[in-house]
Structure 1
Amino acid sequence: MDGFSSLQTLQALTNLLSTKEEDEEEEVKSVQPSAKLGPGSIGPPANPNKHKENQTKQVSSKDIWAEEEVADGSQFDDIIDPRPEPEYEVILRQSVAPEDLFLGMSGKDPSSMCCEGILVKVKLPDTKASEMVLDIREKFLDLRTPKFKLGLHLPHPVHKDEGKARFITEREELEITLLLKRPADYINQELR
């Protein structure tokens, strides 16, 4: 009986006999309000060292965003500019030969990943070709005239230096042909 008289054995016996509800109430009382669960507690616990690294990067730089966080072409978005957006149409182009159409030898399908180019048709009434300013980026097309502005995010990356544009005065329409930059371009060039 003298084994039950020590303080350690009495505490161990108390812990075994106490109910879980009492333990949970004690835990809730001991938790500070700032440590309660919230949206940030979903998922695996964050690496505290990573958070410190991000803070040191922000402190050392006066930039608000990193360059890779800003969408390509967002510098051209101008909410204050009152010029309307012209009517336009984006057409994906694919070169298809008889062996593709009838025999299916090249493995091409109708998806956009098998397309070689993009044709953008822009209707520009009462506009001269000399008044247009066209800027092509990898994923963004920027067209400005005195009456219209068009900032178009392209559905696929393009080769910005290998495009062609022509203005058809009879239809008052600008046709921009762009070559797609596909992930497997180096393979497709070897097969040609």
Structure 2
Amino acid sequence: MEIQGVSSLQILQALSAFINPQTEQEDKDGETLTPSARLGPGNIGPTPKDTPVLSASVSNSKDIWSEEEVAEGSHCDDHGDTRPQPEYEVIMKQSVGAEDVFLGLSGKDPSSMSCEALLVKIKLPDTRLADVVLDINETFLDLRTPKFKLGLHLPHPVLSQEGKAQFFSEKEELEVTLLMKRPHDFINGR
């Protein structure tokens, strides 16, 4: 499209200069770059604003980091501990009745969004219940025995005080059932 001797490129260059006034840049050979040659994927959208620098809290101790900076569950990352990780399986559970299976009245579906609990099955061969130390918080399960160590980041936040654990000595297996924390279930009508 040309308007009385003005080409499309000139129109685009003028529009670009109007919208985003910049000083002309030169490439490595010393040639002046046109505005269209300076554009790239980073030029799409608004220009990023300067992000404010967060001030670190000042403490009088000689700590190299604060407790807030340490990732949750990293206390189990003991690289000097040679105990193996036991076999485990994480299973999503949901309570369903005949009205759910045959009639679909509750709106539940087979997805994990309709699950209410996590079941963690941990194989612990040659282990007694008295040897098991289990610690659970909202997003992390920490299990220690004389022979095994398991630090497991949970796929969903759980209500750590409302779970239950059962040890089956004949199967040499610990089953930990944890209720999932579902803060937005009222939106889905659950």
> TM-score if structure 2 supplies the norm length?
0.69
Distance apart, 1:70 and its partner CA: 4.1
Distance apart, 1:148 and its partner CA: 0.2
User: Is 1:44–2:47 an aligned residue pair?
Assistant: yes
- The 1:132/1:107 distance shift into structure 2, 3 A limit, reads same
Which residue type is aligned with residue 105 of structure 2?
A: M
Distance apart, 1:75 and its partner CA: 1.8
Match of 2:151 in 1: 151
- The 1:116/1:84 distance shift into structure 2, 3 A limit, reads same
How many percent of aligned residue pairs carry the same amino acid? Answer: 59
Please tell me the root mean square deviation across aligned C-alpha atoms, in Å: 3.0
Pairwise mapping of residues 1-192 of structure 1 onto structure 2 (< 5 A)? Answer: 24-25=25-26, 44-47=47-50, 50-51=52-53, 54=54, 57-58=55-56, 60-61=58-59, 64=65, 67=68, 70-185=70-185
CA distance in 2, matches of 1:130, 1:106: 42
Q: Deviations over 1:133-192 (max 9, x none)?
A: 00001010000000000001111011000111111110111111111111235678x96x
- The 1:24/1:165 distance shift into structure 2, 3 A limit, reads closer
SS of the equivalent of 1:60 reads coil
Q: Deviations over 1:101-155 (max 9, x none)?
A: 1111111011111101111111101111101100001010000000000001111
Match of 2:21 in 1: none
SS of the equivalent of 2:160 reads coil
Identify unmatched segments of 5+ residues in structure 2: 1-23, 31-41
SS of the equivalent of 2:56 reads helix
| Conserved? CA contact 1:113–1:182, under 8 Å | no
CA distance in 1, matches of 2:102, 2:57: 62
SS of the equivalent of 1:101 reads helix
CA distance in 1, matches of 2:25, 2:99: 73
Match of 2:11 in 1: none
Identify unmatched segments of 5+ residues in structure 1: 1-22, 30-40
| Conserved? CA contact 1:139–1:153, under 8 Å | yes
Higher radius of gyration, 1 or 2: 1
Structure (1/2) with the larger helix percentage: 1
